[in-house]
Amino acid sequence: MALAPALLAALASASVVMAPAAMAEAPVGSVIPRPAAVTPAEGTLVLSDATVLITPRGDAEALRAATYFADLMQRTRGLTLTVREGEAAPGAVVFRRAAETAADAYSLDVTPRGAIITAGDFGGLLYGSISLWQLATAETGQGAATIPAVAISDAPRFGWRGVMLDSARHYQSPQFIKGFIDWMALHKLNVFHWHLTDDQAWRLEIRRYPKLTEVGGWRVHAGAAAQKDIDPATGRPRLYGGFYTQDQVRDIVAYAAARNIVVVPEIDVPGHASAAIAAYPELGVTDVPGAAVPAVPADWGVYPTLFNVEEATLVFFENVMDEVVDLFPSEYVHIGGDEAVKDQWKASPRVQERMRELGLADEEKLQSWFVARLEKRLNDHGRRMIGWDEILEGGINPNASVMSWRGVEGAIEAARLGHDTVMSPAPVLYLDNRQSPDDGAPGRGFTSTLRDVYSFDPTPDVLTPEQARRVLGVQGNLFTEHMRTEDRVEYQAYPRISALAEMAWTPHARMDFADFRKRLDPQLARYRTLGIDYATIGLTEVPATPPADGQRRYDHQMKLCSAALPLSLIDDAPLAGKRPALLMDILNPCWIYQSADLSKGLRFEAAVGQVPFNFQIGADRDKIRLGAPRTPAGELEVRIDGCEGEPALILPLAEAAGNDGITTLSGQLPARPGQHDLCLKFTQKERDPMWGVDWVRVSDPAARRGDD
């Protein structure tokens, strides 16, 4: 699916020889992704209500692309453009077919006499019109748009330009999904990887097995607040969830296809199985104590729960795949295959007996056998299997493809073995990571900035040219454990998706972050016009200075004592409305307030809250060390210049323990000459709930404090 090297090289070369750099880029100073080749020309073209869009007679795809462009112009400029079939006219935008071009390639020629978009397929016609729309919206405003004359020859670097959205951990409405797909198309992205099943939910209606969604699509949120939220209809804690009917799925798939986007579904096996087993217990490992799943769980992390390997279970999933391929016409179906902890299989006498029956040496080979059965079913339907890089561990069939998430090593191994692969590595392309060290939003605690995403190269130098051709493309991932609302998904995705799109489309030789950053400003204006709730926190690379004494210093402005498993966690209260996010290393909840001036002694204030400890982290739970409490509710301890020894200040948590939200504690620190670091740690009996710090303020008790 990568662009033909000869064509890409020719376009990249052409872009270099076209006049001074500033002149060459002036006409496309607002186009993202950056086109492969640009030639500026003399004059301008005005698009107005009088402009006609002309398509070849009987060309339904050209008509669809022209109609899409007209709709964009109406939504963003307020123009009403006429679309008709026929011959070119002065000042018109003409959609024209080319005999042969690479997939999604196009040329766009703008002169004072009109514009011509030429392509061999629907994708190229659509993307040419999107580039023209970006030229027309380089400046904000309504009404007629003046476009500089230019000739663009463009084609994508990779054929797989994707985003994965996790709808299992948190559900998004079909309306939101369609809007998200629409925004993807505007970035020339073409694969929507839809994560539909996991431990916390099964979201896809399977008519043969209705309990997958009737039971598996619903759970009770973690935390005390959710347990107190009683549904009057049942007298039990309120269920959270939802699922996508097959009619809704067909509608979404068709909507995506109309925007040149393929929807690749993910049905995760043999791990991430809890929701399905809660619905159909016979699918689980039934002869291991503690393996039962009485209800869909709400913990994040990696569960030990696996599907069993009985013939009936394989038939169950073959039947599931039959319905999946009927709903999704994509070439690929994703089968997961990640994080399948084999403890239950190792402990199960029946699974071990089954391994002997099948002549398999170990549990990794057993997973490969499981996956191969489903792959054969997909192949029988003319489809191909793709899975996370763990599927390599027991060996896979030659035509299976690999999505590399544990760094780039899985993709390198797959390419060397002759498998097609998609680059999707953590942490850089995991868009649930924070966008800046100054980002206080909920999510994973690592940082993947706009520049980090832009600078990632999907074809490592260690690959030979032949192996590099096995890299189908690249994908950003939005796992939604910490995105409970749709606006939070938008915040995490944008504007980093612009960086992802350019990295996936533009020839590597044309990549230039400084130039991209200039072109991003008009893109952000488009986001505002379209109502995309993008993040502004990562747009500057100048590090923020921590607030001075006397002002609040939030958790992300302090230093974590360690970063083994850093997460920015959402408080479980209030049930409705905005909740604080508390940044901590859940294996070592400890914070450093740096450089406090203690020369006069200081009033110390800390806003603290509790978050559910809902994490499946296996043996790592035993690594968590919590100080022994002096009182039943525990304490916040503050130490000076170190985290051991006697605390300089002890603040009881009794008042805070009875509050579902944030509580402010206060006390007096002793005077010491100079500046000192303060170490904050909690004492508590149990891990759940876990205490966190929202903000800290140290101030001169004699000083008058204003709002901050």
The per-residue pLDDT for 8 is 54
Rounded Cα distance between 149 and 108, Å, is 10
Average pLDDT on 369-398 reads 95
Could you tell me the pLDDT band of residue 544, with boundaries at 50, 70 and 90? low
pLDDT tens digit string along 55-87? Answer: 999 999 999 999 999 999 999 999 999 999 998
Work out the pLDDT band at 25, boundaries 50, 70, 90.
Answer: very low
Whether the CB-CB separation of 304 and 619 falls below 8 Å is answered with: no
| Longest Cα separation, the chain | 86
Reference 566, options 432, 698, 697; nearest CA is 432
Using 50, 70 and 90 to split pLDDT, how confident is the model at 18?
Answer: very low
* N-terminal to C-terminal alpha carbon distance within the chain: 53
- What pLDDT shows up at residue 11? 54
Name the least confident of 92-101, 274-283, 329-338, 381-390: 92-101
Among residues 193, 221, 272, 556, which one is catalytic?
272
Average pLDDT, the chain: 93
Indicate whether 14 pLDDT > 90: no
- Asked if the peptide bond before residue 495 counts as cis, ω within 30 degrees of 0, the response is yes
Residue 31 near residue 135 (C-beta atoms within 8 A): yes
C-alpha distances in angstroms, 65 versus 30, 81, 95, 121, 310? 21, 13, 8, 10, 49
CATH superfamily of domain region 160-200+243-530: Glycosidases (3.20.20.80)
Of the options 3.30.360.10, 1.10.10.10, 3.60.110.10, 3.30.379.10, the CATH number for the domain spanning 5-154: 3.30.379.10
Annotated active-site residue in 182, 198, 549, 637: 198
Handedness of CA 431, 432, 433, 435 (dihedral sign): positive
Kind plus residue range of the DSSP H or E element containing 651: strand 649-652
List the chain domain ranges: 5-154, 160-200+243-530, 553-699
59 belongs to the catalytic site: no
Whose CA is closest to 497, among 543, 421, 438, 435? 435
Confidence (pLDDT) at 19: 35
User: For residue range 561-589, what is the model confidence (pLDDT) as tens digits?
Assistant: 999 999 999 988 887 778 889 999 999 99
What does the pLDDT read at residue 461?
96
Is residue 272 part of the annotated active site? The answer reads yes
Q: Which member of 251, 299, 339, 512 is catalytic?
A: 339
Integer angstrom CA distances of residue 658 from 192, 212, 415, 654: 44, 38, 56, 7
Query: Does 677 qualify as catalytic in the annotation?
Result: no
Residue identified by tokens 């606006």 is 487
Nearest to 384 by CA among 160, 706, 596: 160
Say if residue 1's pLDDT is above 50. no
136-153 pLDDT, tens per residue?
999 999 999 999 999 999
Domain 553-699 class in CATH: mainly beta
pLDDT in tens, 183-223: 999 999 999 999 999 999 999 999 999 999 999 999 999 99
Q: Are 229 and 253 in contact (CB under 8 A)?
A: no
What are 126-139's pLDDT values in tens digits? Answer: 999 999 999 999 99
Q: By the 8 A CB rule, do 674 and 597 touch?
A: yes
Confidence of residue 701 (pLDDT cuts 50, 70, 90): confident
pLDDT category of residue 329 using cuts at 50, 70 and 90: very high
pLDDT(52) > 70 = yes
